[in-house]
Every structure is written in C-alpha cells, then in structure tokens.
Amino acid sequence: MESESSAWLKYRYLNGVSFQGSECRYDGIQMPVAGVEGNSVAANTKWIATPWKGGGGQVFVTKAIQENCKFNGSEPKITGHSKPVQDLSFSPYDDNLLGTCSTDGTVKVWKIPEEGFTENVNDAHVELAGHAKKVTLCKWHPTSDNIMGSCSMDNTVKIWDITKSECKLTCEGLEGIPQSLEWNINGSMYGCITKGKKLYANDPRTDEPSLVTNSHEGIKI
C-alpha cells in the first residue's frame, strides 16, 4: 500500500499555471472600500462569492468557470444583511450553501439555486442571531455537516447547529476580541487568538477552553 509520504511526493514539484486573460477573467467586481475581517473572496468548484460595495451588506455570487466575464453592478445579489459582510465561506458538504457574517451581529446561510440567483435575495435560508456585537468570522466544521463556528467583537465564540437554527454552545469571557478562528483537521478542536494576545484551544463540545496560553507579542496576527 502506498505510504502517506510517497503520496505527498507526487505533488512536490508541481507548479500552478494561471489562466490567461481571455480564458477566465472577472472584470467589474466592486468590492467594499473598507476592508473585511475575514475572507474577501470565497470559492468552490461551482461558485465564487465576494462582498459587493454599496448600502447594507451585499454579496455577489457568480459561477466559478466562465469566459470573459464583465459585470456592471446590475447583477442579482444577496442583500439580506443590514450592515457590511465581514466573512464568507462555502460549506464543505454542499457546494450551494454559503455562510456569511456581518457587522449587523448575525450569521446567515444562503442556498444558491443551481442556475444561480436571478433576482436579489433578502431572505436567508437560515439566520443565526445571538451575538451582541459585530460578527467577524464564520467557519464551517470540517467533518460534521451543518455545524459552524463564529466569533464576534462581543468576545465570544459560538458553535451553531444550522439544521436547528440554534446556538449549541458559547465560549465566553475571552481576553480580548477574537481575531482568528480555525478548526483542526478533524474538527475535534478549534482555536482562536485574541487582541489580548492569548491563544485559546477549545473542544467544541464544552464551553470552557482546553488550553489558554500567551500568543505572539506583535500587534498583528
């Protein structure tokens, strides 16, 4: 049986080659002037999504592989957030599920039709409310379908059950605002680093940190 190390060696000397402008180019994308806390672009094999400048928190979704795309701003968008979107990511289990979080304090999940959006969409497939302040990051669980984590400027991390539209667990009392949120490879732990320069490693089944330690001394993570 092939060892894990030999499998990795297959990809050791591969080099990526970018598409030429005439093959796959997206022109006219109007991203917000103000930066976002998390991803400014999310993509999978079917879709590309990005925040769009303008009133409220708009998100533009388009098919991932197209030729000579040029957008003028009139295309249908997600318009369900009342304030700017801070992060967005696609479900690892359903290519048509997009998660977003916003300065308006909510996390929302959107179901993209197979043909894409044909009109502006204001009503989310699932809305998750519970954070008291701006939600900065949202991350899908890597091995459990319909589970998502989010963190907020209210100094909490929440774990959500998308199917029930409810928060299953809240980790409170973090020392500073969470500035990152990541799951480990099998989803048994998640970690975050706060503005207070603390690193937290948590079991998503408990509301108490498994590990709290000093993080990097620098001001940027």
CATH of 22-176, one of 1.10.486.10, 2.130.10.10, 3.30.2020.10, 3.30.2290.10: 2.130.10.10
pTM of the model: 0.84
- In order, the DSSP letters of 113-174 are -TT--SS-B-S-SEEEE--SS-EEEEEE-SSSTTEEEEEETTS-EEEEETTTTEEEEEE---
- Quick: pLDDT tens for 170-187: 998 888 899 999 999 999
- Quick: pLDDT tens for 68-82: 688 888 999 999 999
Domain ranges in the chain are 22-176
Mean pLDDT across the chain, nearest whole number? 87
